[in-house]
Structure 1
Amino acid sequence: MNKAELINAMAAESGLTKADSKKALDAFVASVSKAMKTGEKVSLVGFGTFSVAERAARTGINPSTKQPLHIAAKKVVKFKPGAELTAE
């Protein structure tokens, strides 16, 4: 499902217009992104939890040259699905 299909599904499920559904989705994405940038967790009961984790610096290997290279530390977003979302 892409963004346009999600907007159509949200509009059909909620009874909102497609324009309002797009605004709601954009606001949700912006709010979650803002929280992630500040390091906050976002928990949606029944859906899941978005959190930020830190990856340590490590040494990797360039597959074409087989030379070692340094991979810098970085922050990544993790998602843990809630109990109601997990597939049976």
Structure 2
Amino acid sequence: MAKNRSELVAEVAEKSGLTQKQVSDVLDGVFEVFSSAVANGEKLTVPGWLSVERTERAARKGRNPQTGEEIEIKAGYSVKISAGSKLKAAAGSPN
């Protein structure tokens, strides 16, 4: 079952003993740090859980799906999020 932000905040507040407002403020801070790191081209790692980094995409040719016309897609940036060992272990393995 997918969780939205408010469900996540409520569950973390319950498990941590913090108020939902405190948890929400912490999440805002965490995501601001992630955004800042990505904007500055830095890799941010939470050992065992995840890493977030900006990646470069080269310019390339593509097609307009409506017309089939070939178009040039500019070089740009993307974001890569990788799961760490603890997150992968939590996912389990197929039986």
TM-score (normalised: structure 1): 0.95
Q: Does 1:75 align with 2:77?
A: yes
Identical columns (%): 36
Q: How does 1:57-72 map to 2 (within 5 A)?
A: 57-72=59-74
Q: How does 1:1-88 map to 2 (within 5 A)?
A: 1-86=3-88, 87-88=91-92
- Greater percentage in helix: 2
C-alpha deviation, 1:66, in angstroms: 0.7
**Matching residue's letter, 2:68:** K
C-alpha deviation, 1:6, in angstroms: 1.1
CA RMSD after TM alignment:
0.8
C-alpha deviation, 1:48, in angstroms: 1.1
- 1: CA distance between counterparts of 2:15 and 2:73? 44
Count of residues paired in the alignment? 88
- 2: CA distance between counterparts of 1:73 and 1:12? 44
1:55-76 deviation line (CA, Å, top 9, x unaligned): 0010000111110011111111
